[in-house]
Chains A and B, each alone.
Chain A
Amino acid sequence: MRKRWLLLLTGTLALVGSLIVGPAATAKSEAPAAGTVIIGHDQEPTTLNFYISEGNLYATSLAMSPVLVGGMIYNDKAKLIPVLFDGEPKILKAEPLTVTFRYKANAKWSDGRQITGNDFLATYRTIMNPNWDITSREGWEDIASVKVKGKTVTVTWKKGKAYAAWDALVATSPMPAHKVAGQNFNDLWRDSIDIASGPFKFLSRQKGTQLVLARNDAYTAGPKAKLDRIVFRYIPSTPSIFQALQSGEIQVTEPQPQLQIVDIRKNPRFKVQSGPGYFWEHMDIQFGPKGHPALKQKYIRQALIQGINRAQVREALYVRPGLVGSVKELPVLQSHIFKPFEQYYQPNWGIWKFSQRNVIATLKKGGCTGGPDVPTANNDKIWTCPGVGKLSFRFTTTSGNQLRALTFEIAQKQLRSVGIELVPRFGPAGTVFGQVLPSGDWDIFMFTWVGGPTSSATSFGLYGCGGDQNYMNYCNKKASDLLKKAQFTPDPNERAKLLNQAEKIMAQDVMSIPMYVRPGFLINATSVKGPILNPTQQGSTWNAETWTVSA
């Protein structure tokens, strides 16, 4: 009896074992398929059509930018370089702004048809068609005319509406006119795409698992890709991405900042690149009626920014854990409009240094009472200021983000030691961004703006009076006028001058607190040669045609 049970148990275990271990017996060390690079990403595109709102994800751009390339693309220095264009576009007239560009003689679609000005015209018409869920029509809606002659295109904007980021606009990936004609654009290229203008073309897709691109042998506008295939594998859990990387299931990834990166840096099998990108973390301050009345007082806002040691926050989050090599790689952000690596960056917010004694002195000068006389780590006295009450502010940000939680803890402790209280109001991203932020019912809101090289030109929307995304309800007429003027100034030097002038005013107002530019990371196995980190939304596949892989 006993023997039978033992035998049954053993048999069961053996059955289970054979099902599990069996494959291992025949498994052998894997050699990646020749010429295939596997990229791991934590988000899958829902559609392959990156022109529409559903496709407005970095994941879509990452997968599709080698397939549908632009007239120009952003390189790793965030500079536009011609790809389908035979040179940089030229300004024919400043007012009304008129520019011209030409597609290369050998630029053609994967089906053999030439890429011509008609494709750009089709792109313009499709974008302007109100029936399609196009993500952004900014710049396009102010175009007065598009004239086409073969491969040459001339675009004229309306008088007084010169679009500042015109070069990025005309560089947009052209749509194939012969493919989009008569189609429901919202449904086009949802799961597959049968046309390409870049060094790769779509091969196959297994939804929920992977997307495969193959070399486009018909590509002649530039060097042909060296790889046979690029495979995107979708793994939503970041720890799992690192495990897949270690086990060789993926070879390239762009992870969010994670402590595992520190270990990967020490591993000779991998190369880790890091650098600032166009994501900047900041704390907005609410000026509207639903915000704390104290925040409408300039001296209190000035006290707030001086009470947070932004350098220390940056160091605690990224430098000390070893995520970035040194503080030089991640300077404290002293501008909302330009990034430290940009040519026109000026440290306008550098006038506010961390000084706890200054905070106390400023608040006392303003007539506030009840707070500490000197900064102390265990302080529990909170200031009360005339006409505005206790300096206790709701601090809103997304939940489930370790780095944000740590930032809050550091800022809370620093401010508490000088008598200012921060009360956490964390919530899921969908809720805080969808409901709380637009409602204005918050005091301090910390989040990341995701922008690009052209973001500075459209700062009016964020900081101008009545701007679409000015959720702070901040309004300084002088600054707003400068921002609006900059939006329609095509000359980059003139535009930068206006923007920096506006920001000097904004810095005095302390309408927001810039924290740091979030670093981007690119990790690749050393068997893969060629990937270079790109700080823009172009993505790490911007130079995929130069990549090679060894067994």
Chain B
Amino acid sequence: MLTYVIRRLLYSIVVLVAASFIIFTFVSVSADPLSFLKMQPTASEITIQNITKRKHLDEPIPVRYLYWVKDALTNKFGTTTIGDRPILPDLTRVMGHTLQLVVAAELLAVIIAVAIGVFSALRQYSAFDYAATTFSFVGLATPVFWLGLMLQVLFVNIYLWFDVRIFYTANLSGVDPGTGLHFLLDRIQHLALPIMTLMVASIASYSRYMRSSMLEVINSDYVRTARAKGLPERRVTMRHAFRNALIPLVTIVALNFGSLLGGAVVTETVFALDGMGLYFVNQLNAGDPYPVMAWLMVTATMVIVFNLIADIAYGYLDPRVRYD
């Protein structure tokens, strides 16, 4: 297992380096971080030249890439092109916000999806099963931005009709969020709609996985044997069927979680959440390769790590799977 992990990590480093060079090249070629300044009729040439020299913008791209690598390794991802602002504090801040959103959304989604999937499987072709299937298809087909906006419209109208605010439509916290429990409730009120938006697609797909996995397991020989031994149905379902049916879902959730940590771009933009996704969009629009690269490195590392966790977890949960 250790050999497997080390080999995977070594491959990952090669992939990271290749991806970083490609992305750096594309971002550098496609946009000029000084463009907004150059568009000013009265922009100072001295300032433009200073920034160009300081950030090596007049050097060839491979040379600029090497400067970036040096900054990334020795200066915590370096600083922004305009303003020389340290990147790591901003990245840490937005990562924390994204974690709050993603962890809450995934946790709730898994709980609900597992329950729906198991019940659907046990009551296959029942009214509940059909309803759950319909919900899954609708959930998977619904665009995230539309769902987010519709939730905003719904709760704005509830506020206008009843003069009671249940949830907020934008930002992470209120003007005066307070401390302690008041802060927590305020944060929940602000994150509720984005969490709901993210949850729908997750519940839709996870419940399908759980349902098909459960169906496969409950018809297997060992479950039939367990029933034949006279075990109570509940014990057969929970001890024998459910645990084994959970294995594929664990790996899927681990993979999904890793990629979500890159930030739910659309959700964060719609709800003005100061997270990884919005950070990436803003920096890409600014054409600044340094923060984009920092975002890429963090996100790619998360994906790689969670991929690895998913594989290891699969091997741990299913004794038939061995890595070497």
Contacts and interface: CB of A to CB of B under 8 A. Distances in A.
Given A12-B115, A27-B189, A240 B287 contact: no
A208 B41 contact: no
A237 B94 contact: no
Given A27-B166, A29-B165, A243 B274 contact: no
Contacts of B215: none
Nearest to A136: B42
A302 to B, nearest CB: 27
A240 B111 CA distance: 30
- Residue in A138, A187, A240, A241 whose Cβ sees the most chain B Cβ within 10 Å: A240
Interface in A1-60: 1-2, 4-6, 8-9, 12-13, 16, 19-24, 26-30, 33, 36, 38, 40, 46-47, 52-54, 56
Contacts of A321: none
A434 interface: yes
B165 A27 contact: yes
Contacts of B167: 20, 23-24
B30 A243 contact: no
A114 interface: no
Nearest to B175: A231
A239 B269 CA distance: 10
Interface stretch (B63-71, B83-91, B216-224, B303-311): B83-91
A133 B51 contact: yes
Contacts of B172: 208-209
A131 B42 CA distance: 18
Interface in A376-433: 428-431, 433
A56 B51 CA distance: 15
B119 A9 contact: yes
Contacts of B282: 236
B153 A243 contact: yes
A546 interface: no
B166 A21 contact: yes
A517 B136 CA distance: 48
A194 B234 CA distance: 66
B83 A434 contact: no
Consensus secondary structure, chain A interface: mixed
B170 A469 contact: no
Contacts of B173: 206, 209
B93 interface: yes
A482 B188 CA distance: 63
A5 B119 contact: yes
11 contacts: A24-B167, A46-B83, A53-B43, A132-B47, A190-B83, A190-B85, A233-B175, A235-B272, A237-B269, A247-B156, A462-B41
Interface of B: 30-47, 50-51, 80, 82-85, 90, 93-94, 97, 108, 111-112, 115-116, 118-119, 122-123, 149, 152-153, 155-156, 159-160, 163-173, 175-176, 185, 188-189, 192, 196, 233-234, 237, 269-272, 274, 278, 282, 284-287
Given A12-B111, A24-B167, A233-B170, 7 more contacts: A1-B237, A23-B188, A24-B166, A27-B189, A53-B47, A135-B42, A206-B173
